[in-house]
Amino acid sequence: MPISLTTDFGLDDVYAGVMKGVILSINPEAQIIDLTHGIQPQHIEQAAFILHANYQFFPEGTIHVVVVDPGVGSERAVLGVKTSDYLFVAPDNGVLKYIFEAHPQAEIYKLNNSRYWLQPTSQTFHGRDIFAPVAAHLSRGVELSHVGKVFPGFERGQIDHPEKESRQITGRILFFDRFGNGITNIQRSQILGSKVQIHVKELTVTGIQNIYADVKPGAGLAYIGSSQTLEIAVGHGNARDTFNLKAGDPVVVLLDS
């Protein structure tokens, strides 16, 4: 049973590697896949979106482990979530909000049975001592009901949907990828079939481009990214730096059918 890892640990430290070591110590047959360790530190919104946009590309039965956990060591719970096709292990901080929306019938557990944790358990590295061993035991066939209890009091999280008024959609930049492209919360389906003009701070873009090469180097463009949301970029450059953009900036789309 595959285990995917999504963290903000980066690759310069040992954190991601030692999680894999713990998993393999418990289940040497585990297939571990790095979805990403490049989430910006403590950026729950980015982690939630990345997971939401990519989890379904994995084989049925995959255990998706998310460790973006600013509240590590606090009273926040560790969640185990079972949908019809996947298992998720993540902190109870809203990082699974898109999963909850897409799977309202999901079974949700608070994973509080320390029998399945490493001992002693660090207060600052639950990725190694709780998330990794729990995922490993689940990959060996242990049921969620053995690792925890049904938990109705989980944090559902709030999804920031764009606002639509007449022929205007107002969304925002959620985060930037490593190329400096701004990923927004505006869905392809919301602008499909319309002529558009897009405004982000001082940048105005007319129309949706297909590829980066559709514009001259240094020019701004908007396109539909692989996650089927509107993205803001610059030809042969970094949109975040070129246009002084930041996460949370409003993105206004004017529609003209």
Which pLDDT tens digit goes with each residue over 3-46? Answer: 999 999 999 999 999 999 999 999 999 999 999 999 999 999 99
Mean pLDDT across the chain, nearest whole number?
Answer: 95
Residue 2: CB atoms within 10 A of its CB come to 15
Listed in sequence order, the residues at least 6 apart from 175 whose beta carbon sits closer than 8 Å to its beta carbon are 40, 43, 45, 46, 49, 182, 183, 247
Could you read off the pLDDT of 186-241 as tens digits, one per residue? 999 998 877 999 999 999 999 999 888 889 999 999 999 999 999 999 999 999 99
Query: Which residue has tokens 């482990």?
Result: 65
For the record, the structure tokens of 47 come out as: 């982690």
Q: Residue 174's pLDDT is what?
A: 96
Cα–Cα dist 138/154, whole Å: 20
Average pLDDT for 109-121: 97
Identify the band that residue 120 occupies on the pLDDT scale cut at 50, 70 and 90. very high
Pick the CATH number of 2-150 from 3.40.50.10790, 3.30.110.60, 3.40.50.300, 3.30.300.130: 3.40.50.10790
The alpha-helical segments, DSSP class H, found in 30-173 are: 44-54, 97-102, 126, 132-139, 144-147
- β-strand pairing of 250-256 with 168-176: antiparallel
Q: Report the relative pairing of strands 163-165 and 203-206 from DSSP bridges.
A: unpaired
Query: What residue ranges of the chain are covered by domains with CATH 3.40.50.10790?
Result: 2-150
CA distances from 58 to 63, 85, 87 (A): 9, 10, 11
Checking if the pLDDT of 49 tops 90, the result is yes
Percent of the chain at pLDDT above 90?
93
Q: Which amino acid is at 56?
A: Q
pTM here is: 0.94
- Which whole number is the average pLDDT over 169-183? 96
Tell me: the pLDDT tens digits for 122-144? 999 999 999 999 999 999 999 99
Q: Would you state the pLDDT for residue 213?
A: 87
Question: Is the pLDDT confidence value at 252 over 70?
Answer: yes
**CA pair distance 222, 194, nearest whole angstrom:** 14
What pLDDT sits at residue 257?
62
CATH pick for 163-256 out of 3.40.47.10, 3.20.20.80, 2.40.30.90, 3.90.1150.10: 2.40.30.90
pLDDT of residue 2: 97
pLDDT of residue 145: 96
- Is the pLDDT score of 60 beyond 90? yes
Q: Residue 250 forms beta bridges with which residues?
A: 172
Quick one: average pLDDT of 141-153?
A: 96
* CATH 2.40.30.90 residue ranges for the chain: 163-256
